[in-house]
Amino acid sequence: MSNPKVKESILIEKIRINCTKAVRSKRVIAVLDTCSINLDTYKGRITDFEGVGTIAKNRYRSSYGFFIHPLYVIDEGD
């Protein structure tokens, strides 16, 4: 992703096109979850904070990291 020739929007579009082709004319079940990636142990070593923020707060401190939303698609007939 650090390569200037790589664009996130192009990667997303290619994945969208490939997924659309793979499930065309099929009945699928999509299972989605939300997960958090906690980066507290790397806090002193992180230099690029783009996309990193507060993921949880309690009365003692905040936790830093990011959220991901993995999606698992299952062919209903297979």
Phi, psi of 10 (to 5 degrees): -70, -40
Exposure string for 47-60, b = 16+ CB within 10 A, e = fewer: eeeeeeeebeeeee
The pLDDT tens digits of the residues spanning 21-76 come to 988 999 999 999 999 988 888 877 877 777 788 888 777 778 888 899 998 988 88
Could you tell me if 71 and 31 are in contact, meaning their C-beta atoms sit under 8 angstroms apart?
A: yes
User: Which residues have CB under 8 Å from 68's CB, separation 6+?
Assistant: 34, 35, 36, 37
pLDDT for 17 beyond 80: yes
Sign of torsion, CA 41 42 43 49? negative
